[in-house]
Structure 1
Amino acid sequence: MYRNHIVEEVYSLQLEAFTIWMKQSGYSLTTEKEYLREVRDYLSTLNEIPIQQSKKMNVVAFLVSKQRTSGDKTRNRTLSAIRSFYTALIDFELTTTNPALEVKKSKTEKHRNPVYLDQSELEKVLTYVEGRYRDRNLALFLLMAYCGLRVGEVHRINLSHFKKGKGTLEVLGKGRKWNEIPLPPLLIQYLTKVEEERIQPYREKEEAMFVSQKGRRLSIRQIQKIITQVFEGYKKKHPYNADLKLSCHKLRHSFATMLLNHNVDIRVVKELLGHASIETTMIYTHINDEQKRSAMTMINIPQT
């Protein structure tokens, strides 16, 4: 606690600049909190030296100290937070160098297929969406599984973003980038039901599409809990998938895989997912076992 107090006191200007920079850059609230936590931990190891005097060795020493309790993926996220911190300080002319840029990222496992459910499994999971707010919860599920939305994007949807006449949904994605998504007809029906059944919020200015039983915008955590409960019901009846790590983001993986398996142009998939780079979309171009077997049936080995 004492060390945290010292960090806030010594580096208050830098932390304030970093917070402003992240908000200006469109970072999500979750990322802001994670990055600030990582940066505060890093600053606590600098022993109060001026930020301009920090070196590559300070960054590496901090990452090494965390290696015992974290994997390569966590290390790389920490490094990204520190890099962003120095980038913000340079942008606000509080320092001139970014020592974290000289530190290499850890090599993580490549070519690992994302976890996803195929179309038949998604249909089975849908049957486990139930309860008093079934229509609302179905809409949540469908937006992630059949439109590829991130959980944060679903959380931010307002009533005005649903363009029923056009059959589209305006989505505020990463980097505060807007994306207009054409909606499947059945999803339009469910969103219409959500509008009709929506509890009148206590706050007059509450514009959220998805609200709780108290009339407040559903939090990201609440949405995740709803989807987790659906998966738990599904796994109890389908034990062969009991060890499959399913989550909101796995529904997004399923959507991308489904489109590519139907030979949708990868550039279109990129736009629907709201990716900044097509390289990110490329992780979904995995080949399944059935496709491998089908390809091998075309091989004709001559008899000798």
Structure 2
Amino acid sequence: MTSMNKHYIEEIYSEPIQAFTIWMKQSGYTEATRKEYMREVYDYLNSLDELAVERAGKLNVVSFLVSKRESAGYRTRNRSLSAIRSFYASLIDFELATRNPAMEVKKSKTEKNKNPVYLEERDLRSVLTYIEGRYRDRNLAIFLLMGYCGLRVGEVHRLNLSHFKKEKGTLEVLGKGRKWNEIPLPDLVAEYLIKVEAERIQPYSSKEDAFFVSQKGRRLSIRQIQKIAAQVFDAFKRDHPQMTDMKLSCHKLRHSFATMLLNNNVDIRIVKELLGHASIETTMIYTHINDEQKRSAMTTIEVPRVG
């Protein structure tokens, strides 16, 4: 969308946009989510062609989502739908609309039923050996937090020195919806965090409390963390051609952590709390069963020989 189009939309829909902006801040949406949702809503408003938002219906929402799907996948469609649902929820809250037409549109089941990509424990250990360079300890700690503690990349980005409780061996994590979650740390992870804190570059600003800082003394951005992870995964894949087509990312490390716990027979309710999920249904997507487990289960069946 051009800056001219954006300015035009802001003139036509100034009140709904302002309401949504305030509502997301009040609801505790992260800055990244607010930017992403606002971008989706601007595209949606552009598709309305000056039609008042309270007059738009299910057909307008579906038409917009269909146009999005032509250039993107079902994941993008679901993200767009979530943004529009939130947009109308804000308008209803501020009495600028009486119904939410986006709630009448179902989310795509294609993505919902797709098993998450994850690394087996042996592969996860192998990935760690590809973390090299001047900032090896810092980057290794980042991988350990995502792969062995289940932190989201945004949660790693937001970590402050004050969140690491060395005496208790825990980490206070600010998750989605501005909710705090205290995570008990494995001993080795805690040891690495102590080491990283001791080696931490002194930030330019005396008020900067970020745990992970760049070589320029600023808080590592989400994009920088993702770039570090991508470089490590690329090096790992070069030596493991069977993994070439696997889409590895920071979030796949979190998937690996969840799968590891469930494979170790940890109660799913505890896994839910460690991951900071609002609903156990979200945690359920990690209860996938691998082929080895299926074969093992079938060996317990005694089939009688007949005839």
Aligned residues of 2:75 and 2:111 also touching (Cα < 8 A): no
What does 1:36-55 correspond to in 2, within 5 Å?
36-55=38-57
Quickly say closer, same or farther: Cα 1:181–1:109, change in 2 above 3 A. closer
Quickly say closer, same or farther: Cα 1:113–1:105, change in 2 above 3 A. closer
Matched residue, 2:144: 142
Q: Is 1:156–2:158 an aligned residue pair?
A: yes
Write out per-residue CA displacement over residues 248-267 of structure 1, whole angstroms, 9 at most, x where no aligned residue.
00000000010111100110
In structure 2, what is the Cα distance between the partners aligned to 1:224 and 1:234? Answer: 15
In structure 1, what is the Cα distance between the partners aligned to 2:232 and 2:68? Answer: 35
Quickly say closer, same or farther: Cα 1:302–1:110, change in 2 above 3 A. farther
Q: Which runs of 5+ in 1 are unaligned?
A: none
Aligned residues of 2:57 and 2:101 also touching (Cα < 8 A): yes
Percent identity for Structure 1 against Structure 2: 73
In structure 2, what is the Cα distance between the partners aligned to 1:106 and 1:145? Answer: 28
Q: Which runs of 5+ in 2 are unaligned?
A: none
Deviation at 1:107, TM superposition (A): 2.9
Write out per-residue CA displacement over residues 181-217 of structure 1, whole angstroms, 9 at most, x where no aligned residue.
0001111111011111111111110000000011100
Aligned length: 304
Deviation at 1:109, TM superposition (A): 4.8
Greater mean alpha carbon deviation, residues 128-137 or residues 102-111: 102-111
Q: 2:98 aligns with which of 96, 99, 111?
A: 96
Matched residue, 1:231: 233
Q: 1:296 aligns with which of 288, 295, 298?
A: 298
Matched residue, 1:69: 71
In structure 2, what is the Cα distance between the partners aligned to 1:55 and 1:255? Answer: 41
Deviation at 1:273, TM superposition (A): 0.3
In structure 2, what is the Cα distance between the partners aligned to 1:110 and 1:15? Answer: 30
Q: Is 1:132–2:148 an aligned residue pair?
A: no
Q: Is 1:203–2:205 an aligned residue pair?
A: yes
Q: TM-score, normalised by structure 1?
A: 0.96
In structure 1, what is the Cα distance between the partners aligned to 2:170 and 2:138? Answer: 18
Q: Is 1:183–2:180 an aligned residue pair?
A: no
Give, as a single letter, the amino acid of the residue that structure 1 aligns with 2:70: R
Aligned-pair RMSD on alpha carbons? 1.3
In structure 1, what is the Cα distance between the partners aligned to 2:9 and 2:83? Answer: 17
Give, as a single letter, the amino acid of the residue that structure 2 aligns with 1:178: W
Query: Secondary structure of the residue that 1:276 maps to in structure 2?
Result: coil
Deviation at 1:110, TM superposition (A): 5.1
Q: TM-score, normalised by structure 2?
A: 0.95
Write out per-residue CA displacement over residues 123-157 of structure 1, whole angstroms, 9 at most, x where no aligned residue.
11111111101110010000000000000000000
In structure 2, what is the Cα distance between the partners aligned to 1:47 and 1:252? Answer: 41
What does 1:85-124 correspond to in 2, within 5 Å?
85-109=87-111, 111-124=113-126
Matched residue, 1:221: 223
In structure 2, what is the Cα distance between the partners aligned to 1:85 and 1:109? Answer: 22
In structure 2, what is the Cα distance between the partners aligned to 1:38 and 1:106? Answer: 17
Aligned residues of 2:74 and 2:111 also touching (Cα < 8 A): no
Query: Secondary structure of the residue that 2:181 maps to in structure 1?
Result: strand
In structure 2, what is the Cα distance between the partners aligned to 1:133 and 1:49? Answer: 53
In structure 2, what is the Cα distance between the partners aligned to 1:183 and 1:67? Answer: 41
